[in-house]
Chain A
Amino acid sequence: MRTVIFRSIAPYLTSLMVLFSIFVLLRGHNEPGGGFIGGLIAASALAIYGIACGVAPVRRAIYFHPMAIAAFGLFMSGMAGVLSVFASVPYMSGLWIYPHLFGVEIPLSSVLVFDVGVYLVVVGAISSIALALEERDRD
């Protein structure tokens, strides 16, 4: 699998896919996409990078252990629901704010935080499985 072409292309492909996954994640509320799909795309990006260049560079690149990323995502999603405590509404109620940055209205919501959590869980859980499997593959 580790041909020169594949190894040379893989980093660019991976970065593009990760970028795309974030795009898919953010647009998810109004168009096809969302945290789950975005997470799957990012996970396959990392899997490709792993197959091409080995597991160690991937682990260096993402810095945290993938399981830690997943756990943080789960925590984030759970906490996104807790935010509603401060607005005195039931757990998991969607809250929205519309700050203006450079004259552009940017809708932000607890739902977005939740979706980012979903994204992180999916990326973390799946890539930790894939990386662990690839790791053995090598030796």
Chain B
Amino acid sequence: MSASAPGTTFIVLMLPFLAALIAPWLTRRLGHNAAWLLALAPVAIFIHFLGFSADVADGGVVTGGFQWVPSYNVSFSWLIDGLSLTFALLISGIGALIILYSGGYLKGHDQLGRFFSFMLLFMGAMLGVVISDSFLMLFVYWELTSITSFLLIGFDHTREASRRAAIQALVVTGGGGLALLAGLLVIWNITGVSQVSLLLSYGDELRGSPFYLLALFLVLGGAFSKSAQFPLHFWLPNAMEAPTPVSAYLHSATMVKAGVYLLMRLNPVLGDTVWWETILPVFGGATLIVGTLLAIRQTDLKLMLAYTTVSSLGLLVMLTGFGSEHAIAAAVLYLVAHSLFKGGLFMVAGLIDHEAGTRDVTKLGGLRKAMPVTFIAALAGAISMAGLPPFLGFLAKEEIYYALWATDPWSLAFVAIAVIGNGLMFVIGFAVALKPFLGPEVKTPKHAHEGPALLWLGPLTLGAAALVAALISPVTHRFISSPMASAIAGAPETVTISVIPHMGPALILSLVTIAFGIIAYRMLDRLRAGMAWLLSAIGWGPDRGFDQFISGAVRLSVAVTRLVQPGRLDVYMTVTFLMIAAALIGPMAWYGEWPAMPVWPEDAQFHELVVAAIVLIGLAAVIYARDRLTAIVSLGIQGFAVALIFMLFGAPDLSFTQFMVETLAVVILALVMTRLKLHASDHRPTLQKIIDMSVAIACGGGFTLYLLAVTQQPFNTALSDFFAAYSKIVAHGANVVNVIIVDFRGTDTLGEIAVVMVTGLAILSLIRIRTPRSTVADNDPDRRPGQAVVESREVR
């Protein structure tokens, strides 16, 4: 382990956020050309992380950071090994291309600056997720990716579909994030370490812990929701409501891989158990098949790609779950290959949409002459996606088959799943890359021609990268695949596969896949019709389920609100006072610990008796008052008598406050009474009076008993001695009460005055709501027609 240049790495981690800050300003100045400048941020990050690659390729691990909240052992620290380095390079490399692509794609958009800002914020968050060493930092960045994803999906916020998709993604991934937090805390609790780099040696302890399953399920909840595993996959296709750069970057190349990243990261400590090796392949396999079948159904280029992204994520989870040496190598290769080809294909889909005006595959054709560069980029992506040589996708697919091939039924089942899944992805890949370009020219909504360099630069570069990475596979393996596989396995590993095919079961399975793919491609229209029929026959999906869940939650909360808030003030008061009485008397009755009755004091002074008499007179005045106003004022008598008692027994501050509170309480109560327009006198039926009286007596009696019980305990003087001794010395104040309020317990007071403030606001708005509409409408020029509806709902 070495800790090199922690300062630089910290600055690099903050760089996207800084760029996000200046992006709107820069875009106002330079328009879409700001992309060239903003792309420098990810390029700088890419170069910085490239500097670690030699070190990491030799098995080095770079850590760094600083203490964040030392008292809770929380640090801001990062860990750069093969796994995080590869992710960081993908995020920053593809990020630079995406920023450029966004500049071309949203050229002239009013809110381009905001878009750049969100994209860069996301980049910073995603970088943080994969670089984080500390659990809490990981969680914070993880949720930040969910939030930025929410902002980006809902970027086109005037459309209802995008708003719904944004909320859906936030609910699913944000909810998963909470599960992840809980899972990380469980792991923290079991092992006592809060850093990934320290976790490695605790694998056996974790797996042997009785809480292993709890930790596993919680972590899987986070990972599966983020990486769109079946049956939580539905948010990802809906997220295609976002502009295409977002789909290409967040929802194919990077963010959705955060879940896979997490599983890979925790594989050495949570993996290698029966649960891990069952749950992951089963869910991954199911996701793979469901994703490809749903993709066949679609005609929208982006949706076709989105569903295959779901299935690719399933494949990655499945491979991670197997955990064998070759499975991990396959997962690594496929992850890198997928980021390159899927990001590229999404950009191609957006490019076609941008230039031709539609992305419905049935309405496109013959674009190869108009858009030759795009065609090349699309072909490069599709060949890699289909797993044909000489692209990186081929290496990945060979390695997958190599890893899965065995003759027991369990493995054969997964081989079959992989073949079907890969075959269908072959179909979709070529459907996206060939159908819009080949065949007779079709009239498109816009007259299609080649897009600007900003748009085709990205997909072409990614396609070329996939080709070069495969051709120089020894270099790729040395710097990317092997270090990453070692980090996932938790032990040194070497990946060796190359572009030259070897005879063996893997090659045969590849040929089977290709044959299956070609046949399916020719039958694509029939398959699509069949899937459409099947889906409408089922008629229900998790997407509908989400809506039902949300509306169910709303109905439940309405029901609960109706139950606990019937809207009758007397019910609230009665319930509140009954609860107080029960809380006071209940424990004494339960334990039978009644206080001893006080004896009449021998040395009662005359003035003390007078105060007691005033209290009793006040009581009688309240009960026998003819109208409410008199009763309220008479209640004030009680309060003043209590204030006198405080004064007599040496609590001037308390007494002072009591006087003021009593005065104000009487004034405010009287004002409220006049507003309520009640009858001046009391008209309760006798039964009601008896009930109210019983509640009142129970409450008052309860308080009396409680106070008696408390004062009969021996008095602990530790606190009063402390305050009396230190008030003058430490806080320079002789009035202990005030010193406690403003100094010793100042933060408490801050909370209390915040409560006073909020209560004031609440009461103010309550008073305002009850104001008749006519008087407000006349003198409020800001009132818009829509507001009346909202307000009437609140009143109800």
Contacts and interface: CB of A to CB of B under 8 A. Distances in A.
A118 B742 contact: yes
B746 A92 contact: yes
Interface stretch (A4-12, A35-43, A56-64): A35-43
Given A121-B757, A134-B671, A33 B653 contact: yes
A24 B656 CA distance: 10
Contacts of B732: 29, 94, 96, 107, 109
Nearest to A40: B660
B656 A32 contact: yes
Interface in A44-102: 44, 47, 51, 67, 70-71, 73-74, 77-78, 81, 91-92, 94, 96
A96 B743 CA distance: 12
A77 B750 contact: yes
A16 interface: no
B771 A136 contact: yes
Given A33-B738, A37-B653, A111-B742, A129 B775 contact: no
Interface string B729-763: 00111110111011100110110011011011101
Contact of B656 (A33, A107, A126): A33
B675 interface: yes
A100 B657 CA distance: 33
A134 B572 CA distance: 26
B674 interface: yes
Contacts of A34: 653, 735, 737-738, 741-742
Contact of B757 (A70, A114, A130): A70
A32 B657 CA distance: 10
Contact of B734 (A29, A51, A81, A133): A29
A47 to B, nearest CB: 5
Contacts of B664: 40, 43-44, 47, 126, 130
Contacts of B756: 70, 121-122, 125
A68 B759 CA distance: 14
Given A37-B653, A111-B743, A67 B761 contact: yes
Contacts of A96: 732
A66 to B, nearest CB: 8
A50 to B, nearest CB: 10
B515 interface: no
Contacts of A92: 746-747, 750
B309 to A, nearest CB: 47
Given A34-B742, A47-B664, A128-B760, A81 B731 contact: no
Name the residue among A74, A94, A117 with the largest chain B CB count within 10 angstroms.
Answer: A94
B40 interface: no
B152 to A, nearest CB: 34
Contact of A130 (B660, B668, B759, B761): B668
Given A74-B757, A122-B756, A130 B747 contact: no
Nearest to A32: B652
A134 to B, nearest CB: 6
Contacts of B747: 81, 91-92
B759 A125 contact: yes
A132 B761 CA distance: 11
Nearest to B653: A32
A71 B757 contact: yes
Contact of B753 (A43, A51, A74, A94): A74
Contacts of B671: 130, 133-134, 137
Contact of A78 (B668, B739, B742, B750): B750
Contacts, number: 140
Interface residues of A, number: 50
Interface in B467-513: none
Contacts of A78: 750
Given A43-B664, A122-B756, A30 B733 contact: yes
Contacts of A24: 656
Contacts of A134: 671
Nearest to A125: B760
B529 interface: no
B735 A36 contact: no
Contact of A40 (B661, B754, B767, B771): B661
A29 B668 contact: no
B672 interface: yes
B47 interface: no
A40 B665 CA distance: 11
A132 B750 contact: no
B628 to A, nearest CB: 15
A134 B672 CA distance: 9
B599 interface: no
Nearest to B655: A32
A74 B734 contact: no
Contacts of B461: none
Contacts of B737: 32, 34
B762 to A, nearest CB: 10
Contacts of B743: 94, 111
A31 interface: yes
Nearest to B652: A32
Contacts of A70: 756-757, 760
Contacts of B750: 74, 77-78, 81, 92, 114
Contacts of A47: 664, 667
Contact of A125 (B739, B746, B749, B757): B757
Nearest to A131: B764
A28 B735 contact: yes
Contacts of B734: 29-31
Contact of A129 (B653, B675, B763): B763
Contact of A30 (B667, B735, B763): B735
B656 A37 contact: yes
Contacts of A31: 734-735
B369 interface: no
B767 A130 contact: no
Given A81-B750, A118-B753, A132-B768, A94 B738 contact: no
B660 A37 contact: yes
Contacts of B63: none
A139 interface: yes
A29 B675 contact: no
A134 B675 CA distance: 9
A24 B660 CA distance: 13
B630 interface: no
A114 B652 CA distance: 22
Contact of B675 (A114, A122, A136): A136
Contacts of A133: 668, 671-672, 675, 767
A28 B738 contact: yes
B279 to A, nearest CB: 46
Given A36-B741, A81-B750, A92-B746, A132 B757 contact: no
Closest 7 CB pairs of A and B: A125-B760, A40-B660, A133-B671, A32-B652, A29-B733, A30-B734, A34-B738
21 contacts: A29-B742, A32-B737, A33-B653, A34-B735, A34-B738, A36-B741, A37-B657, A67-B761, A78-B750, A81-B746, A107-B732, A109-B732, A111-B742, A114-B746, A114-B750, A115-B738, A115-B742, A118-B741, A125-B760, A130-B668, A136-B767
Interface of A: 24, 28-37, 40-41, 43-44, 47, 51, 67, 70-71, 73-74, 77-78, 81, 91-92, 94, 96, 107, 109, 111, 114-115, 117-118, 121-122, 124-126, 128-130, 132-134, 136-137, 139
Interface of B: 652-653, 656-657, 660-661, 663-664, 667-668, 671-672, 674-675, 731-735, 737-739, 741-743, 746-747, 749-750, 753-754, 756-757, 759-761, 763-764, 767-768, 771, 775
Given A37-B656, A44-B664, 20 more contacts: A32-B656, A34-B737, A35-B741, A36-B657, A40-B664, A81-B746, A91-B747, A92-B750, A94-B743, A114-B746, A118-B741, A118-B742, A118-B753, A125-B759, A126-B664, A126-B760, A129-B764, A132-B764, A133-B668, A137-B674
